Amino acid sequence: MRQLPAHNSICLRILAVAFALTLPCSAARAQLTLVEMSNLATALQFCAITNQFYVSLESLDDLTDSVFDINDIDTGGGTFVMRPEVGLFEDARRTAPEFPGGGWQGPYATFQIGTINPDADIYDLGSPLDLFGNPYFFFSPHGLIRGDTGVVTQELYGDAFDRYTLVSLGPDFVQSGDDIFFEFNGGVTETSISTVTGPDVTTINQGAAGSRYTAIHNTAGTIRGYAFGATQGASQLMFGSLDLTANITAWSDTAVSFTFPLGINEPGDLFLIIASSPTNVLPVLIRVPGGLNAAQSWTLYD
pLDDT band at 297; cut points 50, 70, 90: low
- Count CB neighbours of 250 within 10 A: 10
Higher pLDDT, 220 or 17: 220
- Cβ atoms of 152 and 138 within 8 Å: the answer is no
Band (pLDDT 50/70/90 cuts) for residue 101 is confident
One-letter amino acid of 268: G
Q: Give the confidence band of 99 by pLDDT, cuts at 50, 70, 90.
A: very high
What is residue 194's predicted lDDT score, i.e. its pLDDT? Answer: 95
* d(C-alpha 206, C-alpha 77), whole Å: 22
* pLDDT in the model for residue 64: 53
In this prediction the pTM is 0.87
Does 190 score more than 80 pLDDT?
A: yes
CA-nearest of 52, 256, 85 to 187 is 85
Q: Is the pLDDT higher at 43 or at 295? A: 43
Identify the pLDDT of residue 44. Answer: 98
Contact criterion met (CB below 8 Å) for 149 and 207 = yes
Helix, strand, coil % in the chain, rounded to nearest 5: 20, 30, 50
Q: What is the pLDDT of residue 206?
A: 86
Number of CB atoms found within 10 A of residue 278's CB: 13
Mean pLDDT of 223-249: 97
What pLDDT sits at residue 259? Answer: 98
Measured CA to CA, the distance from residue 236 to residue 265 in angstroms comes to 21
| Res 159 pLDDT > 80 | yes
User: Mean pLDDT over all residues of the chain?
Assistant: 88
Distances (CA, A) of 18 to 10, 13, 140, 180: 13, 9, 32, 21
pLDDT at 290: 81
* Interval 206-231 mean pLDDT: 94
> What was the pLDDT predicted at 292?
56
Higher pLDDT, residue 174 or 70: 174
Domains of the chain: 8-184 (no CATH), 192-301 (2.60.40.10)
CA 169 centroid distance within chain: 16
